[in-house]
Homo-oligomer: A and B are copies of this chain.
Amino acid sequence: MAQHSTKIRLLNAAEQLFAREGFHNTSLRSLASLAEANLAATNYHFGSKEALLKAVIERRLLPLNQIRETEIEKVLSQARESNIPPTADALLRAFIEPTLEFRNSSSGARDFISLIGRSLNEPDETVRNCFLSLILPIFQVLLEGLREALPQLPQKILLTRLEFIMGTMSHVMCMSSHSILNSPSLTEALEQNELIQQLLKFVLAGLEAPE
C-alpha cells in the first residue's frame, strides 16, 4: 500500500471501505487510517467525501465501459457485415462477460464491482447519479442492438426486461462476499466461468420469453 502516492492510497482504501462498509458508514478517519494518510488528505486531494466516491467509480468504470462498448460494437459490426441481425445472446454476453471477468482481476476490482452493483439500488440520488451518468451511454447502445435483435418485442416490454436484467446483474455483482440462500456464497460454490454462463442463460431466457 505504502509504495503508492497518497492520492492512490486514498482511492484504494475508499474502494475497499465504501464497498464493504457502505459509503455513509465509512468515516474519513478510518479511511485516512487505512490509507496511512492524514485526516485532511481526502479533502485536499478530492475536495469532499462524495468527490472521492466519484473518483473511485470513474477510475475503473471508464476503462470497463470502454471494453464493454468495444465488445458490443464488435457484435454490431459483424451483424452489419453479414447482413444478419445481431443475436440477443451475443449482445448480452458482450455486456456481461467483461463485467464479471473484470471482477476477478484483483481484490480491488472485486470491491469495485460490488460497489457499483449496489449503486443501482441506492436511494441517495447524488450517489446513484454519480454512476448512472457514466453507464447510460452504454445502455443506449445495448438497447439499440437489442431492438435489432428482437424487433418483434414491444419497446415497453424490452425496456422492462432490460431493467430486470440489470437487477439480476447488480445482485450477482454485490454477492462477492455473501449470498442469500447458501452459506458458501455463489461466487465460491460455482466456478467463476460457470456463474457467468448460468447468469447469461437465465437473463437470455427471461428476455426472450414469449410475449
Residues of A whose CB lies within 8 Å of any CB of B are 19-22, 24-25, 114, 117-118, 120-125, 128, 132, 139, 143, 156-157, 159-164, 166-172, 174-175, 178-182, 186, 189-190, 195, 198-199, 201-209
Q: Can you identify 12 A-B contacts, CB atoms within 8 angstroms?
A: A19-B123, A22-B122, A25-B124, A120-B171, A121-B171, A143-B181, A156-B189, A157-B198, A159-B189, A167-B172, A170-B171, A201-B209
- Cα separation A121 to B25 with both chains bound (whole Å): 15
User: Are B164 and A171 within 8 A (Cβ)?
Assistant: yes
A199 cross-chain contacts in B, Cβ below 8 A: 164
Tell me how far the C-beta of A205 lies from the nearest C-beta in chain B, rounded to whole angstroms. Answer: 4
A159 cross-chain contacts in B, Cβ below 8 A: 181-182, 186, 189
Best-buried of A118, A128, A198 by chain B (most CB within 10 Å)? A198
Q: Which of B19, B120, B132, B205 contacts A209 (CB 8 A)?
A: B205
Whether A123 contacts B167 in the complex (CB less than 8 A), given A202-B161, A206-B206, comes out as no
Whether A163 contacts B171 in the complex (CB less than 8 A), given A21-B124, A24-B25, A118-B123, comes out as yes
User: Are B123 and A22 within 8 A (Cβ)?
Assistant: yes
User: Are A128 and B178 within 8 A (Cβ)?
Assistant: yes
Whether A181 contacts B162 in the complex (CB less than 8 A), given A22-B124, A123-B21, A171-B170, comes out as yes
Q: Which of B139, B178, B202 contacts A180 (CB 8 A)?
A: B139
